[in-house]
């Protein structure tokens, strides 16, 4: 069976050629997945509706984004210009994670080629995140009765502070974030389980720590998992402070996907961050998520 993967041309937005965020990675990743025969077709999402967005964001914030009336300080915190293509990208990428979550229920595994905007909270965006796509999709599944107890596994180098804030009083969503202690955001939120990593940690220690906590999480009875597979833990990342190799990232993705797939728990994989100094390497690293899922479905 072919892995269902969600992609859309609108994942690209006009943020300026000299912007620090590698916006071209979404289209290039889609090309790479086809070229490597990991997928042949993509599922196309729709822009996320306001009704669905309201599950995780305030109406005022949604309206201010759509009407381009956001406070300048919030736009600065987000780090993207508030232009039409950025708004469209944010809506479509969020719709993409909602679609991928529904596909995961049908197929056991599904991935988006974007997503993981985990710094956005209920009333604001931040850190290149406009809407928290995973939070929106998780709440969508709960509200529709498609899942009862959801786990968010966030292995981006930065803490998933927005997800932690949104779900802090929700007993049906468990947030697990394993991240660089000294990295953004400076003031961390409180996830249900936070693992702070020291700078320059390498593969062996990283994998040992991950396995330890995954074994703990296996004691819980989750019926759906979102996996934020940020590759900014790589040693050559511009914004990461860890020293994980290509093999370390590949192993990490295999551990997570295999663990939940073998238990019959549907998993939706999203990209998360990646700011590698080598753009082609960045695309390859992001593809490890899709490769590990595709291998399991074969």
Which tokens hold the place of 205?
Answer: 């220690």
CA distance 87 to 90: 5
Q: 0.85 exceeded by the pTM? A: yes
pLDDT at 186: 86
pLDDT in tens, 151-191: 999 999 999 999 999 999 999 999 999 999 999 898 999 99
Return the H-helix or E-strand segment holding 152.
strand 150-154
CA angle, residues 22, 9, 57, in degrees to nearest 5? 75
Q: By C-alpha distance, which of 209, 207, 208, 204 is closest to 194?
A: 209
Whether the pLDDT of residue 18 is over 90: the answer is no
To 5 degrees, how large is the angle CA 32–CA 38–CA 40?
90
Sheet holding 224-228, edge to edge: 5-6, 109-112, 267-270, 224-228, 150-154, 173-180, 193-197
Burial of residue 198 (number of CB atoms within 10 Å: 0-12, 13-18, 19+): exposed
The two three-digit tokens of residue 15, written as one number: 């943020």
Section 41-53 average pLDDT:
97
Phi–psi pair at 283, nearest 5 degrees: -60, -45
Q: Write the CATH number for 251.
A: 3.40.800.20
- Domain containing 105 equals 5-297
- The least confident of 12-16, 243-247, 275-279 is 12-16
Tens digits of residue pLDDT in 228-269: 999 999 999 999 999 999 999 999 999 999 999 999 999 999
The domain total for the chain is 1
């Amino acid at each position: 069976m072919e892995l269902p993967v969600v992609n859309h041309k609108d994942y690209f937005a006009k943020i300026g050629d000299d912007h620090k965020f590698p916006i071209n990675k979404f289209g290039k990743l889609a090309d790479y997945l086809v070229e490597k025969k990991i997928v042949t077709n993509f599922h196309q999402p729709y822009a996320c509706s306001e009704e669905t967005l309201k599950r995780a964001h305030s109406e005022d914030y949604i309206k201010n984004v759509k009407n381009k009336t956001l406070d300048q300080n919030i736009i600065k915190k987000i780090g993207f210009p508030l232009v039409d293509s950025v708004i469209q990208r944010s809506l479509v990428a969020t719709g993409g994670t909602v679609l991928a979550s529904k596909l995961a229920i049908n197929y056991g595994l599904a991935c988006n080629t974007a997503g993981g905007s985990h710094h956005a909270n209920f009333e604001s965006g931040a850190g290149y995140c406009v809407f928290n796509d995973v939070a929106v999709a998780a709440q969508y599944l709960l509200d529709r009765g498609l899942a009862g107890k959801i786990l968010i596994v966030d292995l981006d180098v930065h803490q998933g502070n927005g997800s932690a804030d949104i779900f802090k009083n929700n007993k049906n969503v468990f947030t697990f974030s394993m991240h660089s202690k000294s990295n953004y955001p400076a003031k961390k939120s409180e996830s249900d389980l936070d693992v702070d990593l020291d700078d320059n940690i390498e593969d062996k220690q990283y994998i040992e720590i991950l396995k330890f906590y995954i074994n703990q999480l296996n004691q819980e009875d989750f019926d759906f998992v979102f996996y934020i597979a940020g590759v900014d833990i790589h040693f050559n990342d511009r914004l990461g402070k860890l020293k994980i190799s290509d093999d370390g990232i590949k192993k990490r993705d295999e551990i997570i996907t295999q663990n939940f797939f073998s238990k019959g728990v549907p998993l939706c994989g999203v990209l998360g961050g990646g700011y590698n100094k080598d753009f082609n390497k960045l695309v390859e690293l992001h593809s490890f998520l899709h490769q590990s899922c595709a291998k399991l479905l074969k």
